[in-house]
Amino acid sequence: NNGVVSSLFATITTTEQGGTQSYGLFKYLGPNAIIRNLNVVTTVGMTAASGSVSNGVQYVGGLAGYMNNSLLVNVTAETKMGISVNNSVLHVGGIAGMTTAGTGFESVGNVKYNGDSTSWTIQSKSGSQINAGLIAGSATNTYVNSLNINVTDSVVDLKADGNSTLT
């Protein structure tokens, strides 16, 4: 876009589902996807399914649910999360739920977490595994060249019952 920085504001609301699901401004960023010069403010809300979800895997990120061999250049992100799951494996991150296969953060600036009590609330009702991170919930074969994190308070509310694990 000729060096012009674009700003996007998104609100994503959904209900926990079975199978593998991805949520974010972009559901999936695949091989060779490049996001440049973008400011994004995202609010993600997920309510637990009313019953148990079979084989639920949820990838949730402010920018992308799942990044596979993708590149971010000159990107800023501010994300709020309100997530409740029943029986899923949850990968949740401020930028991406999961990054794999050579995904790169070339110049990611000002990843914000303002620390108020509504910024990130992640709750597991039963039998879930939660992987949560300010950048990515889970990452394999991912590189970071330049990253600036802006944290004003550090309160993340993670709740699990006796049958769930938090990582």
Task: Quick: pLDDT tens for 56-71.
Answer: 788 888 889 999 999 8
How far is the CA of 76 from the CAs of 29, 59, 109, 148, in angstroms? 17, 20, 5, 9
Reported as a single tens digit per residue, the pLDDT across 90-139 is 888 888 999 988 877 776 765 655 555 556 777 766 667 788 887 888 88
Average pLDDT over residues 19-30: 88
Residue 167: exposure state from Cβ atoms within 10 A (0-12, 13-18, ≥19): exposed
Instruction: Report whether 118 contacts 82 (CB < 8 A).
Output: yes
Give the contacts of 137 (CB within 8 A, at least 6 positions apart): 59, 60, 61, 90, 91, 92, 93, 96, 97, 98, 131
pLDDT at 83 over 60: yes
Question: What percent of the chain has a predicted confidence (pLDDT) above 90?
Answer: 5
Q: What is the mean pLDDT of the chain?
A: 74
Reported as a single tens digit per residue, the pLDDT across 31-42 is 989 988 888 888
Give the pTM: 0.78
Round to whole Å and give the CA distance between 158 and 125: 11
